Amino acid sequence: MHWNDKVLDNLEQIYWSPDKIGLKPIKRQPTPDGAGFFVPKERLAGGKSLYSRGQAYAEWRPTIIKKEELLNQVLEIALAIAPSSFVADVFFAPLDICPAGRIRTLGREVGARHSKFAPRQFTQHDGLYVSDNAIVMMEMKLKARTSIEQYLKYCTLAALEEMVSGRKDHVGMIYLVPSGAVLRTRKDLRLDNPEAMEQIWNDPSEFTDKSLLSQLLTHHLEQIRNVGERLVLQIITWDDFLRAMLQTRDDAAATGNETLENLMQGMIAQIQATPDCGLRYGDTTT
């Protein structure tokens, strides 16, 4: 069993003990005629919802293991643990960025980190990696498409980070997509249209209907546009990512770095278990 399965084991504990995450049981009460049950009205006050387990965990587990949400959780954990050299190889090198110092992985804590300028959360990023001289962001895609609005969200995220920690020499963005989605992603981002960026930055608010993002674009447009003008964007595939992990795993095994080998193997196993990654490259040893 690879460590990514332990994430599912933790989810199973929550599945059977939802009180651990603040969900409270509601005791059913019989109707006056005894033909059924009802839920007291006050237990659903304030817009609360009522849920029930739709299937046994043994039936649910084989389904969730293939989902993007689980893949995202596994990668978020693993990339926060992975050495800076690996993150630099897979996300900085394609942008021709050489990070200075260690690379920090920033997750949901950016909500508090950026709260002075963005009091409410306006996006949920997939990857934000910060070194002394660079900010690199990563958006992972399976079936879903991207948009100019999402591009603007990431420009805003980088601008907020610079407003908090200072301007960086380099700003980059990686899209991680299935091999068959590369051309589609280029089209969605207008990468082959030389005039596209100028059109976007003339009035970026035209490309979003999200009020929070619109407010940030209005209040911090100069800083966000500046990021957009400097940002280097590249598209890599899940196959590219897999090859990098396989090489790192094999190098770690050859040098006796068991921890790094295990870390890579868990990520490899999760990607291979997710059909929508659209892998064209295999590894018969896993």
What is the tens place of the pLDDT at every residue in 151-194? 999 999 999 999 999 999 999 999 999 999 999 999 999 999 87
What is the tens place of the pLDDT at every residue in 13-35? 887 888 888 887 777 788 888 78
Higher-pLDDT residue of 215, 37: 215
What is the tens place of the pLDDT at every residue in 204-260? 989 999 999 999 999 999 999 999 999 999 999 999 999 999 999 999 999 999 999
The answer to whether the CB of 138 falls within 8 A of the CB of 198 is: no
Phi, psi (deg, nearest 5) at residue 264: -65, -40
Q: What is the pLDDT of residue 283?
A: 62
Instruction: Indicate the pTM of the whole model.
Output: 0.88
The answer to whether the CB of 260 falls within 8 A of the CB of 78 is: no
Phi, psi (deg, nearest 5) at residue 283: -145, 110
The answer to whether the CB of 139 falls within 8 A of the CB of 126 is: yes
d(CA 84, CA 134): 13
Residue type for position 170: H
Inter-CA distances, 137 with 103, 153, 157, 161, 197, Å: 12, 11, 9, 11, 19
Q: Which residues are CB-neighbours of 251 under 8 A, at least 6 positions away? A: 257
**β-strand partners of 138:** 127, 174
